[in-house]
Amino acid sequence: MLRLTLQETPSVPLEADVLSPDMLAPLTIEAIRALPVYLGKRQRRLADFFAVGGEAGDEIEIHGDLARVKWIGRAMTRGVLRIYGDAGMHLASAMQGGTVDVFGNAGDWLGAEMSGGVIHVRGNAGGQVGAAYRGAPTGMRDGVILIDGAAGLEVGMRMKRGTIVVGGPVRDFAGLQMKGGTIVLGQGAELRTGAWMNRGTIISLQPIPLLPTFSYAATYNPTFLRLYARRLATLGCVLPYDERQGSYQRYTGDAAVPGRGEILVWRPNG
Amino acid sequence: MRASVYKSPALKPRIADTFAEAFDMRAARVVITAHTPGWALTAARSMTGFATSVIGCKVEAGIEAELDPAETPDGRPGLSVLLFAFDAAGLGQRLVDRVGQSVLTCPTTACFDGLPDAAERVAVGGLLRHFGDRYQSSKFLDGQRYWRIPVMEGEFLVQESFGVQKAIGGGNLLILARDQAAALAAAEAASEAMRAVRGVILPFPGGVVRSGSKVGAKHYKNLIASTNDAYCPTLRGRADVESALPRDVNAVLEIVVDGLDRGAIEASLRAGIDAASLPGVVEISAGNYGGKLGKHHFHLHELAR
Amino acid sequence: MLRVTGGTVYDPANGVDGLVQDLYIANGRIVDASAIADGARTIDATGMIVMPGGVDVHTHVAGGALNFARGLVPENQRAARKFLHRGDRRAGLGGMTPTTFATGYLYAGMGWTTVNEAAVPVLSARHTHEELHDIPLVDKTSLVLMANNEFVLDLLEAGEAERARHVVSWLVWAAKGYGIKAVNPGGVEAWKWGKNANTLHAPIEGYKTVTPAMIIEGLATIADDLQLPHPVHLHCNNLGVPGNFATTIETMNVLQGHRAHLAHLQFHAYGGDDWTTMRSESARVAEAFTANPTLTADAGAVLFGDAVTITADGPWQHLLYQLTGRKWGNLDVENETGCGIVPYVYKDRNLVNAVQWAVGLELLLLIDDPWRIFLTTDHPNGGCFWRYPEIIHMLMNAEFRREQVQQLPEKARQRIVLADLDREYTLSEVAIITSAGPARSLGLSRKGHLGVGADADITIYPSRPDHGFLFSYPRYVIKGGAIVVEEGDVREVVDGKEFIVRPACDERIEDYIRPLFEKVYTMSFANYPVEIERLRNPEVVVPEP
């Protein structure tokens, strides 16, 4: 297992997309120390910022306040990346496989345009989780993002497939221009959830304000949620589905597109 | 009375030194879940009706096992159904017909593929989805697509594709007994024991065939099958019938079993032989075509060991 | 001071066709051997090919439209080649819509030393010049959009030819341009009404008598009367439409006797009635073109792959948007013109794209005189300029070309003639279509050749049998006497010049323009003309009366 520890908090953001199992696994410790990172516009060595120890392989631990370290885990396809501290923007952007665990918070653009793998953030995340970068037609194409805490704006924007689960509250425009996939909002969201939604499912476990272009359809217990609940249970997430506990109110929209998406709002019994 | 009979091994039925001849087939497994075990059973019974023989019914189907909620994909009560046909395309069409007419229509059901590892796949939900008239939607989970078809009662959840695997059909036992009552008792016992084995179904009504057949006919052209005169007790003694029946046999019943693999059929036949060894049963035999038609042979003496 | 010795020189403007010659450079010009002192640096170009630096006669690299395009496709920027800040080399992005500094590095890296920004609205000319200001290593010219300018159209409608000439002259100088650009004459004006101008002799929307033909003829006459170094540069009506070859030939008839340069001729040489029957009519266009010796053209060839279409032809871009169903940007430039942006992918499996790809090459092969047809892709519309070497390779290697044709869908092969063409370009002809010809057409007498007095813009290629590769990687590029690129790497960054023209103009025309301007423009008149101080190294060309 490889262990990296941030020695010095960078004064400006540090771009370190070399911090992925794909990049690091085949290298010697010396080669790892010499890898380029970018402090603002200047190229530096990884060892200028990180102490490197252990053995290179598919398992990597990074320690420290990495809130200003960007692009960790970029495009990774395998391995295990564990971050003990906060992580900066673009964590696991374009990820294809493997797992990322953050014992801290993550910045904006977590898992942007990813297509596989599992990310679990114990703290909060920023905005644009699993989203498309500006101008790109599609965001997350598959994979799972779990956030125990809160998240920011445009969670799952233009996502096409995959699952995002946020335990804490989420800000505006969750599921903006969604094309498919599933977003679970454990503590609801602020405004304009599902705006311009084309397809996909947004599940809110608490009441949320809805756009006038979403129409109420029915109150029921969809069978497919049982499959999801089982899958999420293997990842440690609880999704209610049983009619003895409550039901979901289904809203379809966004009629402005016109979209065939759905927002399911949980309504406990009693 | 029974107990004293069992003390005497000499009264156990003879096991004929012969083999059952069975055929290559393709099988699919359908998992049906519902709000209650009762509704799942209703759907399954309807789905597996009129599916005794590929010859006349185009498919052979039966209920394989009742499933615990923990065993089903959606955690609801359910059961598994096996279907057998000669090729994947035909099987696929039968699945679409039967799931569409008997499971889709039945309240609270959902329908899943029971052969996830099978490489060959046929579209089931992928075709049934059109019933949704474009109002259907799907969810992709762990590499599988599930269709949600809007229906009056809510949504019918059905997996897009079902696996098809190589399988074996036509395994059988012949129960030769002194009289009808003894044959029936043995057949009922055998049927119950055989269907408890996972991986097999008994396609005929109650699992038992009273009208075992032979290929073709002696006196009618173009008849695909006709009564197996060699095993018909009332035809013994005629000059133009070569009877296979010992003198003390007055009734014969057959059990047909289809299974996913050799092991399942062997286990089922073994259980059947054991359970059918009741008073009044003279011999347990099996049907074959000289080994020329089916490539799967189940020798009774090897099973009984 | 610099010597280039032992190279095989191709200088077709001076009749030098592959001779081993030495070149001498001092003070940014090519000079006589006697003008060089002994201490001069020497480049040993033995075994290498020496050509005048490339001249791109039609490209879109700077200004409002280009910048709007950059903004429309940020996903392209993310995938683009990155230029890192290093020494005096500035940061930038390559890709289909390169940023300013990167544009210079990319052109020079390929051996091109002069570029003509083909479409500048007067209203945003200041923006164009600010971006040209930041493009290093190449010299520039720019053409001012005129064929949908309402001041000009109004005057043509009123029959006031002389006043129109003064207005055009004033506008060209106000925009600090080098010449006149005409795009879809009348059509972009009609687009302000949601319409187009598909017929050369029909009055355009909003007008009673002015027709596209009148605009074309009017501007061609003005360009000739003003003795502009470059003739009217014309993007014909009905660009991109199946069957438009007829419009192109008709346009040539309208231009009878006038000088004119037909832009991106490939997009104007289609037969057929609709998208399913579209085919190449390059042979007929080439024939009509050859018969009109006062015309020049550039190919506007298409290459398979990603592109971004950027053109003032607003209505055509709306149609393209409807065909692709993806992104579309549309800008109106008040009283003057418009612009449309549509990202596009040319696919070899697509019948229409396959025909387009063939037509560009066919025109280059069918038009015999390389002094009249020049190599462009209408960057970034048909393909990126840094892919020119791919086209050169196909022009020089008939077998390779035929292999490419074989890979097209069967149906497409029936619509084109490319497989039947055997011609292979010589190095001399390549030097003409990439440098000498465009330089002559632009009237830049110090460009496109290596004679004494020429600007020392020289590209030196290593000799190799694979010509496509050859042109991708010059060994040396010399700009104004400085070695700016060596072995594919930018070594020294120098600023280029910007050539602008000041045609004869009656100053009093401003009294006519100002009140009209103040009535219809949202800008104040004092802010309209571009201050010459904004240009980097302007060189003013005053046409001889």
CB C104 within 8 A of CB C496: yes
pLDDT in tens, A35-50: 999 998 789 999 999 9
Structure tokens at C489: 């790497």
Q: What is the DSSP letter of B103?
A: I
Label each residue of C215-239 as H, E or C.
HHHHHHHHHHHCCCCCCCEEECCCC
Chain B window 18-77: which residues touch A at a Cβ cutoff of 8 Å? 73-76
Scored b (16 or more CB within 10 A) or e, A64-81 reads bebbbbbbbbbbbeebbb
Out of A220, A223, A230, name the one closest to residue B157 (CB): A223
- Measured from the Cβ of residue C344, the count of other Cβ atoms closer than 10 Å reads 23
- Interface contact flag, A136 C75, Cβ < 8 Å: yes
How far does B284 lie from chain A, in Å, by closest CA?
Answer: 47
Of all residues in chain A, what percent are helix, strand and coil, respectively (each to 5)? Answer: 10, 30, 60
Percent of chain C with pLDDT over 90: 94
The pLDDT value given to residue B5: 45
Out of B137, B141, B154, name the one closest to residue A227 (CB): B141
Chain B window 181-200: which residues touch A at a Cβ cutoff of 8 Å? none
CB B264 within 8 A of CB B199: yes
CA dist A179 and A176 (Å) reads 9
Out of A161, A180, A227, name the one closest to residue B146 (CB): A227
The residues near C520 (Cβ < 8 Å, ≥ 6 apart) are C150, C334, C335
Scored b (16 or more CB within 10 A) or e, C186-196 reads bbbbbbbeeeb
- Interface contact flag, B74 A231, Cβ < 8 Å: no
Partners of residue B110 in chain A, C-beta under 8 Å: 223
Burial tier of A30 (Cβ tally within 10 Å: 0-12, 13-18, 19+): exposed
CA dist B299 and B286 (Å) reads 9
What is the C-alpha radius of gyration for chain B, rounded to an integer number of angstroms? Answer: 21
- Interface contact flag, A135 C76, Cβ < 8 Å: yes
CB B287 within 8 A of CB B257: no
Which residue in C49, C53, C41 sits closest to C17, CA to CA?
C49
CA dist C204 and C227 (Å) reads 28
Which chains touch C (3+ CB pairs under 8 A)?
A
C82/A contact by beta carbon, under 8 A: no
The pLDDT value given to residue B3: 45
Strands C41-44 and C2-11: parallel
Dihedrals φ, ψ of A238, to 5°?
-105, 125
* Chain center to CA of B125: 24
pLDDT in tens, A67-101: 999 999 999 999 999 999 999 999 999 999 999 99
Residue with tokens 């813009």: C457
* Band (A270; pLDDT cuts 50, 70, 90): confident
Q: What is the mean pLDDT of residues A260-268?
A: 97
The pLDDT value given to residue C267: 98
CB B141 within 8 A of CB A231: yes
- Interface contact flag, B139 A228, Cβ < 8 Å: yes
CA dist A112 and C20 (Å) reads 57
What is the C-alpha radius of gyration for chain C, rounded to an integer number of angstroms? Answer: 22
CA dist B7 and B30 (Å) reads 44
Burial tier of C418 (Cβ tally within 10 Å: 0-12, 13-18, 19+): buried
Q: What is the mean pLDDT of residues C354-373?
A: 98
CB C253 within 8 A of CB C281: no
CA dist B71 and B114 (Å) reads 11
Q: Which of B33, B141, B145 to mutate to test the interface with A (most CBs of A within 10 A)?
A: B141
pLDDT in tens, A200-244: 999 999 999 999 999 999 999 999 999 999 999 999 999 999 999
The answer, yes or no, to whether B and A have at least 3 beta-carbon pairs within 8 Å is: yes
Structure tokens at B29: 């497994």
- Measured from the Cβ of residue A45, the count of other Cβ atoms closer than 10 Å reads 13
Partners of residue A43 in chain C, C-beta under 8 Å: 84
CB A197 within 8 A of CB A174: no
pLDDT in tens, C461-479: 998 766 667 788 899 999 9
CA dist A50 and A117 (Å) reads 26
Out of C78, C85, C326, name the one closest to residue A133 (CB): C78
Q: Which of A41, A44, A74, A157 to mutate to test the interface with C (most CBs of C within 10 A)?
A: A41
CA torsion angle C45 C46 C49 C50 (round to 10): 40
Cα nearest neighbour of B69 on chain A: A226
- Is it the case that residue C39 has pLDDT exceeding 90? no
Partners of residue A159 in chain B, C-beta under 8 Å: none
Q: What is the mean pLDDT of residues C193-222?
A: 97
> Which of helix, strand or coil describes residue C23?
strand
**What distances in angstroms separate CA C378 from CA C59, C119, C386, C473, one per listed residue?**
5, 11, 12, 22
* Band (A8; pLDDT cuts 50, 70, 90): confident
**pTM value?**
0.85
Label each residue of C309-373 as H, E or C.
EEECCHHHHHHHHHHHCCCCEEEEECCCEEEEEEEEEECCCCHHHHHHHHHHHHHHHHCCCCCCE
Average pLDDT, chain C: 96
- Interface contact flag, C72 A133, Cβ < 8 Å: no
Partners of residue B137 in chain A, C-beta under 8 Å: 199, 260, 262
CA dist C53 and C477 (Å) reads 8
Partners of residue B76 in chain A, C-beta under 8 Å: 223, 226
pLDDT in tens, C387-404: 999 999 999 999 999 999
Residue with tokens 């499996």: C349
Q: What is the mean pLDDT of residues C182-199?
A: 97
Out of A201, A222, A227, name the one closest to residue B73 (CB): A227
CA dist C400 and C423 (Å) reads 12
CA dist A158 and C69 (Å) reads 22
- Is it the case that residue A171 has pLDDT exceeding 60? yes
- Is it the case that residue C499 has pLDDT exceeding 50? yes
Give me the CATH code for the C51-498 domain, please: 3.20.20.140
- Give me the residue spans of the domains in chain C: 51-498
A vs C, Cβ pairs < 8 A, gives: 19
Out of A41, A43, A135, name the one closest to residue C74 (CB): A135
How far does A162 lie from chain B, in Å, by closest CA?
Answer: 8
Structure tokens at B100: 């569409």
DSSP characters over C519-542: HH-SS-GGGSSPPGGGSSSEEEE-
Which residue in B278, B84, B283 sits closest to B173, CA to CA?
B283
CA dist A249 and B107 (Å) reads 21
Partners of residue A218 in chain B, C-beta under 8 Å: 154
User: Which of 2.60.420, 2.160.20, 1.10.10, 1.20.1050 is the CATH number of A2-268?
Assistant: 2.160.20
- Is it the case that residue A164 has pLDDT exceeding 90? yes
First to last CA, chain C: 36
Which residue in C78, C120, C77 sits closest to C99, CA to CA?
C77
Which residue type, as a one-letter code, is found at position B56?
Answer: G
Structure tokens at B74: 């959606």
Total residues found in chain C within this entry: 545
The pLDDT value given to residue B2: 46
- Interface contact flag, A224 B75, Cβ < 8 Å: no
Cα nearest neighbour of A138 on chain C: C75
C76/A contact by beta carbon, under 8 A: yes
- Asked if omega into A258 is within 30° of 0 (cis), the reply is yes
The pLDDT value given to residue C38: 79
Dihedrals φ, ψ of A45, to 5°?
-100, 150
B142/A contact by beta carbon, under 8 A: yes
pLDDT in tens, C283-314: 999 999 999 999 999 999 999 999 999 999 99
- Interface contact flag, A135 C75, Cβ < 8 Å: yes
Structure tokens at C147: 């064929």
Structure tokens at A56: 């290179």
How far does B55 lie from chain A, in Å, by closest CA?
Answer: 37
Q: What is chain B's pLDDT, residue by residue, as a tens digit (305 residues)?
A: 444 445 555 578 999 999 999 999 999 999 999 999 999 999 999 999 999 999 889 999 999 999 999 999 999 999 999 999 999 999 999 999 999 999 999 999 999 999 999 999 999 999 999 999 999 999 999 889 999 999 999 999 999 999 999 999 999 999 999 999 999 999 999 999 999 999 999 999 999 999 999 989 999 999 999 999 999 999 999 999 999 999 999 999 999 999 999 999 999 999 999 999 999 999 999 999 888 889 999 999 999 76
Q: Which of B36, B108, B137, B158 to mutate to test the interface with A (most CBs of A within 10 A)?
A: B137
Q: What is the mean pLDDT of residues C500-508?
A: 95
How far does A41 lie from chain C, in Å, by closest CA?
Answer: 8
Q: What is the DSSP letter of A54?
A: E
How far does C467 lie from chain A, in Å, by closest CA?
Answer: 36
What is the C-alpha radius of gyration for chain A, rounded to an integer number of angstroms? Answer: 19
Out of A41, A135, A136, name the one closest to residue C85 (CB): A41
pLDDT in tens, C86-113: 888 999 999 999 999 999 999 999 999 9
Which residue in B301, B191, B181, B193 sits closest to B256, CA to CA?
B191
CA dist C377 and C385 (Å) reads 7
Partners of residue C343 in chain A, C-beta under 8 Å: none
CA dist A59 and A80 (Å) reads 5
Of all residues in chain B, what percent are helix, strand and coil, respectively (each to 5)? Answer: 30, 35, 35
- Asked if omega into B9 is within 30° of 0 (cis), the reply is no
CA torsion angle B142 B147 B150 B151 (round to 10): -110
Instruction: Count how many Cα atoms sit within 13 Å of the Cα of residue B236 in the half-sphere of its side chain.
Output: 14
Total residues found in chain A within this entry: 270
Q: Which of A227, A234, A264 to mutate to test the interface with B (most CBs of B within 10 A)?
A: A227
ipTM of predicted complex: 0.91
Cα nearest neighbour of B72 on chain A: A227
Which residue in A64, A60, A149 sits closest to A98, CA to CA?
A60
Out of B76, B142, B148, name the one closest to residue A224 (CB): B148
- Interface contact flag, B110 A182, Cβ < 8 Å: no
- Give me the residue spans of the domains in chain A: 2-268
How far does A177 lie from chain B, in Å, by closest CA?
Answer: 17
Q: What is the mean pLDDT of residues A5-25?
A: 95
